[in-house]
Structure formats: C-alpha cells, structure tokens
Amino acid sequence: MQETKRRLLLSVYKMFDLCVVVLSFGLAMLLVGSESPAHSLAEFLSMKVKLWNFVIFGVMLVVWHVLLSLCGLYESKRLATRRSEITEVLRGTTLICISVIAVARVVTIHMVTLAFLALFWAVSSACVVSARLIVRRLLEYMRRRGRNLHYILILGTNQRAVAFASRIEARPELGYRVLGFVDDDWEGTAGFLTTEYTLCCDVEGLSDYLRKNVVDEVAIYLPLRSFYEDASRVAALCEQHGIITRFDSDIFDLKNAKPRTDNFDGEAHIAVCGHALEAQSLLLKRILDSAISLFLLIFLAPLFFAVSVLIKFTSPGPVFFCQERVGLNKRRFKIYKFRTMVRDAEQLMAQLEALNEVSGPVFKIKNDPRLTPLGKFLRRTSIDELPQLFNVLRGDMSLVGPRPMAVRDFEGFNEDWQRLRFSVRPGITCLWQISGRNLVPFQKWMELDMQYIEHWTLWLDLKILARTIPAVLKGTGAA
C-alpha cells in the first residue's frame, strides 16, 4: 500500500513539474518571445497546427523529464536538506534552459531570446521550488503527528549507533521511529542498558523479530572488521524481507574526510574525500579560472612585453624562469615566472642554505644576493608571478589555492597531514599570501592551507582575490 502511494505521489510530482515547465514556457513565449506579444501569440497558435512542432515539443517534454530525473528530483527527500532540494530544482531548470537553447539552435526558434530564457527559468524555478517547499512542510507536519512514519531497527549498541539514534529522534519531522537495537552481549552492553533505548533481540533472533514486527529499515552500525560476517548475513536477511539496509559511511572513523556515493558501471561505491570541493563546484571554479586568466593575459599583454624587454636588456639569461613544481595529487608540472635572479641561481642555492629565513623545508631569503636589481622590484610588486596565469589557463594551477611546492621543498615534508594541501589544484594566491607570507611560520602556513581546503567556497576564493591586491600594494603579499 505504501509503495502504491509513493508511486502515485511520484506521478503527481512528475506531472506537476512538466505542467509548470510547459506553462512557464508558454508564458515566456507570450510575454517576451518576440518583439510583439501579438506576434508571439500568433506564432504560438500556429505551432498547434503543425505536426513538426508537435514532434519537437514532444521530444522536448521527454528531454525535460529525463533532465529533472537525472537531477534527483524524484528520489526520496526524507533525509535531504531544504537547501539541497532547492539546489537540485535549480540545477534541473538550468539544464532545461540549456536544452531549449540547443533545440533553438538546431531548428531555428527565433523566440528563444535572453529575456525569454530569463523569464522561463525564473518562473519555472520559482513555481517548482515553492511546490517542493509546501509539500515538504506538509509532510513534516504529518510526520510530527505520527503519519508517514518509517520504523528503523539499529544493529549494534556502540557509541556511534546510540549517537545515530539520538540524531534521528532529535529530528521528528523526518518521520523516523527507532524501534530499538539488535546486538549480542559484549563488554559495552552494561553501559548501553543504562540508556533509555530498548535492546530488542540478539543477532540470531533478528530473523524472528523481522517476521513478527513492522520494520522499514535496518541501520548497521557493527564494527566492519570484527563483525563483517554478521553484517553481511543481516544485509542478506533484509534483502529477503525487502527491507532497506542502511549503514554508516564513516566506517574508518576518519576525522575530516567527507564520504560521497559514486556510480560505476551500475554499481554504487562510497568514496571518501579529504576535502570539501565537489565536482560541480570544481567545474565552476575551473571555468572562472580559465575566463579570468584569459582576460588578464590579454589585458596585461603590454606589461608582459615591457617586462620581457627590461629583463632581456638588464641581465643575461632567459626572460622566464621555469621550475618543476608539485601540483594536484603530486603531479609534476613546469611553473612559469619572470626571471628575477642571476642565470645560475639554482646552482648557488646550496651555498646559501645557512641564510634561509623560513622555518620548515622551504627556502626563502628576504635580501637574496642572487636577485637582480630589476628582480627585486618584480618580487616586491609580485609582477614576477604574473606568467603563472599561463599555468592557470593550462589547468596546472588555479587562481586561488595552496602555493605549488618546489620538488626540493616537497621532499622535506615530514608529516602526512601536510600533504593534504596537494589534494587540490595549487594557486597563485591563498590565505598565506594575504596573511603575511614570509612572516608566517611554516607550521602556520600549512594550517592556513588546511583551513582553506576545509572551508572552501567560491565566495572564499573571491574574498582572497580581493584581499590579495591590497596585500601586494602594501608589500605583505610579496616574496
């Protein structure tokens, strides 16, 4: 009966979404689909009597439905956050607009203008989001009053299992009711029995319990290494009963890594990632990096030419300094900078080790004797860093990210947690640059990189870029 209700609700969702999209499309067509609303209406009516237009519109409906389904709009949202549900809707309506642009290019639909797309996206997004929020609030109201409930049984009585039950009970709007716990007697059983939770049965008695009670889900919280066979047997038993099996993705008890689900060749995999950057956010970050770096390279072309001429005529050697650096997941790449030192600067480094002013494995000297007179100015103004825009355009680097390490410095790392900085694309600037750069101790530098990775957002990137400019002008962002 519940499955029938669920399918009926999904059908209503799908029909409502398609109706909203079609009506939004028609509204946008009537209001801004052409220079004259009357012309738009005439064109809209004329589409009804042309078989070809019916075929096109039918294909578009199918494509829209597929796009909304791929965005996850028709999966269970019982445990989803309000924000994630809104994001899925906006992603779906955005993809629909992109599909409309593609169709308009292929079959030449003149009504699809920028104003048309903006109105179509705004109306369809607002309507679908509003409907989802209303239904969400209604379902939460019903669940708080004992309707539309899911009964869950928890396998395991360890602290993590009890914490999961506490989180579930703290959110009555989710509609979960904890039936109790299943576990064999162990050294922690006495402590568990002091809680208010019920021990329903042992592992052997679970089969009989499932036959006699209403159970919608079983959450497995047994330690994987010690109780793999028990967990496997329970999962197979739940499969036979058609009961949902849920298990803790943090099976290794990692501190900062974030688990996510991936689909590979039809199979679900749990991937554990050490940073907060998601694939879609990374794609947007890459698009912004490419666009901004290309613009800056074109805009700064006269400056590049002037600096190149000055370097060539003031000291012997090449215009650019190229050095192998360690980048994303320890990939090696050549970094580009304007040359600021004498030609044999790399060979002279060993003689200057005693003058190193920075703690840790890195090597920096404020008044480096290898610097040319022009090089001192380029370093002080950070102009020497500008050729790294080519690295950003190529994809070796990002505008914002932990600084790429020289191979010599990388080999001097002695703690694995510091290597998390290599899990993201290195950047021209980051928190270290706007926090004092050479004045910041190596340990603090690494902590700032970890802070950036853990709390990364596009807004953080923009703030760092904005703060980099005054830091460079003051000289605190220069080497």
Q: In the chain, what's the furthest Cα-to-Cα distance? A: 90
Confidence of residue 413 (pLDDT cuts 50, 70, 90): confident
Q: Are residues 361 and 388 in the same domain?
A: yes
152 pLDDT higher than 50: yes
Residue 65 has pLDDT above 90, yes or no: no
Kindly state the tokens that stand for 242: 């058609």
End residue of a domain, out of 230, 248, 266: 248
For 436-463, b/e burial (b = at least 16 CB within 10 A) is ebeebebeebbbbbbebbeebeeeebee
Which residues, 6+ apart, have CB-to-CB distance to 375 below 8 Å? 315, 339, 340, 341, 384
- 23/6 same-domain check: yes
- CB count within 10 Å of CB 368 equals 20
pLDDT at 475: 61
- Rounded to the nearest 10 degrees, the angle between the axes of helix 114-144 and helix 82-107 is 150
Q: Which position has the higher pLDDT, 176 or 344?
A: 176
Residue 395 lies in a domain: yes
Q: What pLDDT does residue 360 have?
A: 67
Q: Domain check: are 168 and 91 in the same one?
A: no
Report in angstroms the alpha-carbon separations of 135 from 1, 9, 132, 426: 20, 11, 5, 44
Report d(CA 85, CA 77) in Å as an integer. 7
Q: Are residues 56 and 161 in the same domain?
A: no
Rg (CA), the chain: 30
Q: Which residue has the higher pLDDT, 420 or 177?
A: 177
Nearest C-alpha neighbor of 349 from the set 333, 335, 336, 365: 365
Structure-model confidence comparison of residues 479 and 225, the more confident one? 225
Chain-centroid distance of CA 318 in Å reads 40
Q: 319 with 388, same domain?
A: yes
Buried b (16+ CB within 10 A) or exposed e, 113-137: beebbebbbebbbebbbeebeebbe
Tens of pLDDT, residues 7-42: 676 777 778 888 888 888 878 777 775 544 444 445
* Cα–Cα distance measured from residue 405 to residue 327, given in angstroms and rounded to the nearest whole number: 7
pLDDT at 17: 82
pLDDT at 258: 64
One domain, residues 71 and 26: yes
What's the first-to-final CA gap in the chain, in angstroms?
69
Note the pLDDT tens digit of each residue in 124-142.
899 889 988 888 888 888 8
Q: Does 323 lie in the same domain as 459? A: yes
Tell me which residue range forms the domain holding 326: 279-474
Higher pLDDT, 44 or 109: 109
267 occurs within a structural domain = no
- Pair 124, 156 in one domain: no
Kindly state the average pLDDT of the residues 319-330.
90
Q: Measuring CA to CA, which residue among 39, 22, 21 is closest to residue 30? A: 39
Pick the most confident of 51-55, 319-323, 369-373, 470-474.
319-323
**Range 52-78 average pLDDT:** 77
Q: Which of 144, 166, 187 is the last residue of a domain?
A: 144
The structure tokens listed for 105 are 């290019």
Residue 307 lies in a domain: yes
Question: The tokens of 465 are what?
Answer: 């870029």
Query: Is 187 a member of any domain?
Result: yes
Separation CA 162–CA 352 (nearest Å): 59
The pLDDT value recorded for residue 50 is 56
- 262 occurs within a structural domain: no
363-397 per-position pLDDT tens digit = 777 777 888 889 889 988 889 999 999 999 999 99
Q: Which residue has the higher pLDDT, 247 or 336?
A: 336
Structure token digits, residue 449 = 């990189």
Whether residue 415 is contained in a domain is answered as yes
User: 206 and 111 share a domain?
Assistant: no
> What is the bridge-based pairing of β-strands 217-220 and 332-338?
unpaired
Do 200 and 60 lie in one domain? The reply is: no
Over residues 165-183, mean pLDDT: 90
The model's confidence at residue 48, banded by pLDDT at 50, 70 and 90, is very low
Checking if the pLDDT of 44 tops 70, the result is no
* Number of domains within the chain: 3
Residue 207 has pLDDT above 70, yes or no: yes
d(CA 153, CA 144): 19
Is the pLDDT at 362 greater than 60? The verdict is yes
Q: Which of 209-213, 278-282, 356-360, 388-392 has the highest mean pLDDT?
A: 388-392
Q: 348 and 241, same structural domain?
A: no
Q: Is the pLDDT of residue 267 over 70?
A: no
Q: Between these two residues, 455 and 296, which has the higher pLDDT value?
A: 296
Given 144, 178, 200, the domain boundary residue is 144
Q: Is residue 253 part of a domain?
A: no
Do 93 and 214 reside in the same domain of the chain? no
Band (275; pLDDT cuts 50, 70, 90): low
pLDDT for residue 387:
95
Query: What integer pLDDT is reported at residue 447 of this predicted model?
Result: 86
Domain annotation covers residue 358: yes
- Once rounded to an integer, what is the mean pLDDT over residues 183-201? 88
**pLDDT on residue 154:** 92
pLDDT at 336: 94
We report the CATH number of the domain holding residue 190 as: 3.40.50.720
